[in-house]
Structure 1
Amino acid sequence: MENFFKLKEHGTTVRTEVLAGLTTFMTMAYILAVNPHILSASGMDAGAVFTATAVASAIAGVLMAVFANLPIALSAAMGLNAFFAYTVCGQMGYPWQLALTAVFCEGVLFILMSLTNIREALFNAIPMSLKSAVSVGIGLFIAFIGFQNAHIVVAGPKLVSMFSFTSSFTAGTFHSEGVAVILALIGILVTAVLIVKNIRGNILLGILATWILGIFCELAGVYVPDPANGFFSVIPNGIVALPVSLAPTFMQLDFSFVRSLDFVVVMLAFLFVDLFDTLGTLTGCAARGNMLDRNGRLPRIRGALMADACGTTIGACLGTSTVSSYVESSAGIVAGGRTGLTTMVVSGLFLLALFFSPLFLSIPAFATAPALIIVGFLMMQQVVKIPWANLIEAIPAFICITVMPFMYSISEGIAYGIISYTVLHLCAGRTKDITWLMYLLTAIFISKYAWM
Structure 2
Amino acid sequence: MSIATESKERPKGISHYFRFTENNTNLKTEIIAGLTTFATMVYIVAVVPGMLAGGGVPKNAALSVTILMTAITTIVMGLYTNRPFVLGPGLGSVAIFSFTLLKDGIPLSIAAGIVFLSGAVFILISFLGIRDFVVKIIPSSVKIAIGAGIGLFIANLGFRQAGIVVANANKNVLNFGDLTSSTVWLAVIGFFLIILFESKKVKGGMIFAIILTTLLGIPMGITKLPHSFVAIPGSIRPMAFKLDILKAINIRYLPFFFAFFIPDFFSTLGTLLGVSAEAGYLDKNGNLPGIEKCFYVDSCATSFGALFSCPVMTTYMESSAGVGAGGRTGLTAIVAAGAFLATFFFSPLFLMIPSAATAPALMYIGTSMLKSTAKIDYSDFNEFFPALLCIVLTLFSFNSGNGIAAAIIVYAFLKLISGKFKEVHWSLYLIALLMIYYFYIVATT
TM-score computed with the length of structure 1 as normaliser: 0.91
Contact 1:103 1:316 (8 Å CA) reproduced: yes
Q: Structure 1: how far apart are the matches of 2:77 and 2:427?
A: 29
Taking only the aligned residue pairs, the percentage that are identical comes to 38
> Given the alignment, which residue of 64, 68, 85 partners 1:51?
64
C-alpha deviation, 1:80, in angstroms:
0.5
Contact 2:252 2:441 (8 Å CA) reproduced: no
CA deviations on 1:355-398 (whole Å, 9 max, x unpaired) are: 01101111000000000011113211111111112222111111
> Given the alignment, which residue of 199, 219, 226 partners 1:196?
199
In the alignment, is residue 365 of structure 1 matched against residue 355 of structure 2?
Answer: yes
Q: Structure 1: how far apart are the matches of 2:249 and 2:116?
A: 15
Match of 1:69 in 2: 82
> Given the alignment, which residue of 318, 327, 337 partners 2:308?
318
Deviates more, 1:250-259 or 1:185-194: 250-259
Match of 1:169 in 2: none
In the alignment, is residue 216 of structure 1 matched against residue 219 of structure 2?
Answer: yes
CA deviations on 1:239-282 (whole Å, 9 max, x unpaired) are: 11111111111111124523421234432332222112211221
Q: Structure 2: how far apart are the matches of 1:140 and 1:269?
A: 14
CA deviations on 1:109-167 (whole Å, 9 max, x unpaired) are: 222221121234212321222221111111111111100011100112441101134xx
> Given the alignment, which residue of 267, 276, 280 partners 1:277?
267
Q: Which amino acid aligns with 1:75?
A: G
Match of 1:170 in 2: none
Q: Structure 1: how far apart are the matches of 2:77 and 2:245?
A: 29
C-alpha deviation, 1:106, in angstroms:
1.9
Q: Structure 2: how far apart are the matches of 1:258 and 1:319?
A: 13
Contact 1:143 1:375 (8 Å CA) reproduced: yes
Contact 2:116 2:302 (8 Å CA) reproduced: yes
Match of 1:413 in 2: 403
Task: Give the superposed CA RMSD.
Answer: 1.5
Match of 2:7 in 1: none
- 4+ runs deviating over 4 angstroms: none
Contact 1:43 1:96 (8 Å CA) reproduced: no
User: Structure 2: 5+ residue runs without aligned partners?
Assistant: 1-13
Q: Structure 2: how far apart are the matches of 1:300 and 1:131?
A: 25
Match of 2:94 in 1: 81
Is the alpha carbon distance of 1:329 and 1:279 closer, same or farther for their aligned partners in structure 2, counting shifts above 3 Å? same
Q: Structure 2: how far apart are the matches of 1:12 and 1:147?
A: 43
Q: Structure 2: how far apart are the matches of 1:287 and 1:439?
A: 35
Contact 1:211 1:363 (8 Å CA) reproduced: yes
Contact 1:27 1:328 (8 Å CA) reproduced: yes
Match of 2:129 in 1: 117
Match of 1:382 in 2: 372
Match of 1:171 in 2: none
Q: Which amino acid aligns with 2:18?
A: F
Match of 1:343 in 2: 333
Match of 2:9 in 1: none
> Given the alignment, which residue of 33, 58, 75 partners 1:20?
33
Q: Structure 1: how far apart are the matches of 2:330 and 2:340?
A: 15
User: Tell me, what secondary structure is at the counterpart of 1:160?
Assistant: strand
Q: Which amino acid aligns with 2:364?
A: I
Contact 1:123 1:275 (8 Å CA) reproduced: no
Q: Which amino acid aligns with 2:35?
A: L
> Given the alignment, which residue of 32, 42, 45 partners 1:29?
42
Contact 2:148 2:391 (8 Å CA) reproduced: yes
